[in-house]
Amino acid sequence: MSELTSLMTPACIIDMGKFQRNISCMQAVAKRDELVLRPHVKTLKSLAAAERYAPSNGPITVSTLAEAEYFAAAGYHDILYAVGLVPNKYARVQALSERAEKFTVVLDSLAAVNALVSFADSLEHPLQVMLEIDVDDHRAGLLPMSDELLECAKVLQAKPKLHFRGIMTHAGGSYDCFSQQARDAMAEQECALIAKASARLAANQIHCELVSAGSTPTALANTHHKGINELRAGVYATFDCVMAGLGVCDTDDIAMSVLTSVIGHQTDKNWVIVDAGWMALSRDQGTAAHAKNCGYGLVCDPQGRLLEGWFVSSTNQEHGIISHIDGKKPDDAIFAYGNMLRILPIHACATAAQFSAYQVIDEDGKVTETWSRITGW
């Protein structure tokens, strides 16, 4: 063990107590609703982290082929690559299908299906495939009642080297739901529409082994997720300011922070300058449209206690500027030169991506572990 003050800044911190509580909460939801939980490991991209909430005998979701290769090498065999597939990735996909028995890709158009069908004859092992359903007009996916969905599923089912595994969706529109009522309605819409798509496929003799839905806001909604058999979510393990701004969690639930040091001041502007710029915090401003704009992150003391009203108002590459929402003068005892602070991330995935490792602390604030991560696509 070592003291937090022994770390060089900036450093990415994971509070193990909060991390485990967040994980337990999501696991309880899946257990309550009798769903398989397929955690998305894209936030931390770390085997050491994933072992806490996604054991190697369970299913996971990834957002890059690099993640899929990394986790397959560690023994994970049920891996959903939840980003649309294009031909320049086929060779790596083929290799993954030979290493991980249930490595699964996602398609969302007849053009994508036909391209993969043309390639399928070169496969040595059948490739698992799912179709993405659009349930909220937010991003990718086939409409539940479209002719294209039915045609895609029929083409996949007819190809021996491709195994149609089912359908999935992501209610990205939930990130615009600022009330519990709105999140509940989005979760019910998500489940109802993908269940409708599943029933339509079943009526055409096309079976869906998996009917998979989820986002952190809808997974934690006050609903029982009827019509699906698998729940997916990712950022719940750490949470972030976006989730807190939506009301999905409290700021005290956020398990990730960036440790930073005060390197200077602009006293006439009441600014505090720290060594965490956008290379540490990221450029993400996901709370800009929220009632409370957190800028580039909320400021805490070294123990992780929120300093009300203080936020990172602007960033350069290696400099962050901290100011108060009401322009208050910084307290010399808290913001003195050389003092350490912790910044809660706007978007945990984006902040995590700035680091090659995480420093894990216990409830006493002692550094107990270092978790490495992978990068790239």
pLDDT tens-digit series, residues 182-224: 999 999 999 999 999 999 999 999 999 999 998 999 999 999 9
- In eight-state DSSP terms, residue 346 is S
Residue 138: pLDDT above 80? no
Give the model's pLDDT for residue 137: 79
| Contact status, residue 73 vs residue 97, Cβ threshold 8 Å | no
Task: Name which of 343, 348, 247, 256 is nearest 298 in CA terms.
Answer: 343
Alpha helices in 204-252 (DSSP H): 216-219, 241-246
- 96/349 Cα distance (integer angstroms): 24
- Give tens-digit pLDDT for 83-98: 999 999 999 999 999 9
* Three-class DSSP category at 119: helix
Could you report the per-residue pLDDT of 235-278, keeping only the tens digit for each? 999 999 999 999 999 999 999 999 999 999 999 999 999 999 99
Q: To 5 degrees, how large is the angle CA 196–CA 197–CA 203? A: 90
CATH 2.40.37.20 matches 2-11+255-372: yes
- Average pLDDT for residues 63-72, to the nearest whole number? 98
Q: What is the pLDDT of residue 189?
A: 96
pLDDT at 140: 85
Which residues make Cβ contacts (< 8 Å) with residue 95, sequence separation at least 6? none
Q: Which fold has domain 33-237?
A: TIM Barrel (3.20.20)
pLDDT band, residue 167 (cuts 50/70/90): very high
CATH 3.20.20.10 residue spans of the chain: 33-237
**pLDDT of 126 above 90:** yes
Are the beta carbons of 222 and 240 closer than 8 angstroms?
no
Identify the residue whose tokens are 């203080």: 310
Q: Is the pLDDT of residue 1 over 90?
A: no
Give the pLDDT mean for 159-185: 95
16, two tokens? 């193990």
Helices (H) and strands (E) in the chain, counts: 12, 18
pLDDT of 38-52, one tens digit each?
999 999 999 999 999
Question: Over 90: is that where the pLDDT of 116 sits?
Answer: yes
Average pLDDT for the chain: 96
Give the model's pLDDT for residue 58.
81
Size of the chain in residues: 377
Q: Which helix (H) or strand (E) holds 129?
A: strand 127-132
What DSSP string runs through 94-117? HHHHHHSTT-EEEE-SHHHHHHHH
Residues of the chain with CATH 2.40.37.20: 2-11+255-372
Over residues 303-328, the pLDDT tens digits come to: 999 999 999 999 999 999 999 999 99
* Non-local CB neighbours of 260 within 8 Å, separated by 6+ positions: 9, 10, 274, 275, 276, 280, 320, 340, 341, 342, 343
Mean pLDDT computed over 338-354: 98
Residue 87 one-letter amino acid: P
How does DSSP classify residue 72? Answer: H
Residue 16: per-residue pLDDT: 98
pLDDT at residue 53, as a whole number: 94
SS3 358: strand
pLDDT exceeding 70 applies to what percent of the chain?
100
Whole-model pTM: value is: 0.96
Q: What is the pLDDT of residue 284?
A: 95
Specify whether the CB–CB gap between 43 and 349 falls below 8 A: yes
User: Which pLDDT score is estimated for 283?
Assistant: 95
